[in-house]
Amino acid sequence: MEYRKLGETEVEASVITFGAWAIGGWMWGGADRQDAVKAIRAAYNEGVTSIDTAPIYGMGVSEEIVAEAIDGIPRDKVQILTKFGMRWDVKQGDFVMHSKDNYGKEIDIYKLASKESVIHEVEQCLRRLKTDYIDLFQLHWPDVTTPIAETMEALGTLVKQGKIRAAGVCNYDANQMKEAEQTIRLASDQVSYSMIYRDIEKELVPYCIDNKKSIIAYSPLQRGLLTGKIKPGHQFGEGDTREGNRFYTEANIIKTNKFLDEIRPLAEAKSATLGQLVLAWTIRQPGITIALAGARNEEQAVQNARAAAVKLSHEEVLFINKKLADSGF
């Protein structure tokens, strides 16, 4: 496993970090708790020391599962990355959507990053995670109802108090990063990035490289699509929001699988799965520090972790990039 520092902080994370969205169940059609615990422990045994979670992932369930999974591991041997700013327990801030929790209860979700809310949330996260500090505390989504400076000042306070080691954001563009930097030195920006979704390469990647900010890539496997296991006509479980997503249209599944067939021989030559090849490509892209990879069971977790050992030459990266361009991605 390879480890990289987040921005200019002392926090080091594994290049493949366990993404704990799916294990929270919410928007993924449920998850088995014991399988999730075993998956995190299996990943840790492969060198994946970092776990990225969030309160909204199952309304606290994901964080509680993470706490259970790392129980017994020395705290300084694991890095907990969690978030704040998505509330389902108050009706304040920027309304996002109506939803249902894992038990079918109707909930309304708001983006809220006021100072009061940040201070409240960190305590809830610490309680659920059963720890006294968080390695990276990230704003989950921009909140247009709260000035960026107010949110960043709250994060600065938490750093001084020792409750968080580093502050980050998610889903910020370059301009929002610049504004936040007037108040605090951010470690990272967590954004969606994959072989077939590369919008950040135009502005955000150059900004982060120039200003020594890490990019944490979420959905590098495009929520499973880039594993090659999702075929035309795939049936998603109840509550799984991938159904209807623009990446999961019949036409795009066919297009994506055609591209994956083009790079499959390279994966086979390296005794790697398609998913491992995709993750290996991701962590070797300019500006990308960490790739998040979710797993619902031990086998998936081990496979994801071993992607870090798949070595790609400059020529092989160029080969993949050409196949992407030829495929229209």
What is the Cβ-side half-sphere exposure of residue 157, based on CA atoms within 13 angstroms?
Answer: 12
Residues 6+ apart with CB under 8 A from 264: 228, 274
* Secondary structure, 3-state, 294-307: ECCCHHHHHHHHHH
DSSP string, 243-305: TT-GGGSHHHHHHHHHHHHHHHHHHHHTT--HHHHHHHHHTTSTTEEEEEEE-SSHHHHHHHH
Question: Is position 57 annotated as part of the catalytic site?
Answer: yes
- Choose among 152, 149, 141: nearest CA to 96: 141
Query: What is the number of helices (H) and of strands (E) in the chain?
Result: 10, 13
d(CA 39, CA 166): 26
Query: What does the block give as tokens for 184?
Result: 């605090």
110 sits in which H/E element: strand 106-111
Q: What is the DSSP letter of 240?
A: B
Q: Which of 3, 44, 57, 197 is the catalytic position?
A: 57
**Helix extents (H) in the chain:** 33-45, 61-70, 115-129, 148-161, 174-181, 204-210, 250-269, 274-282, 298-305, 314-327
Catalytic positions: 57
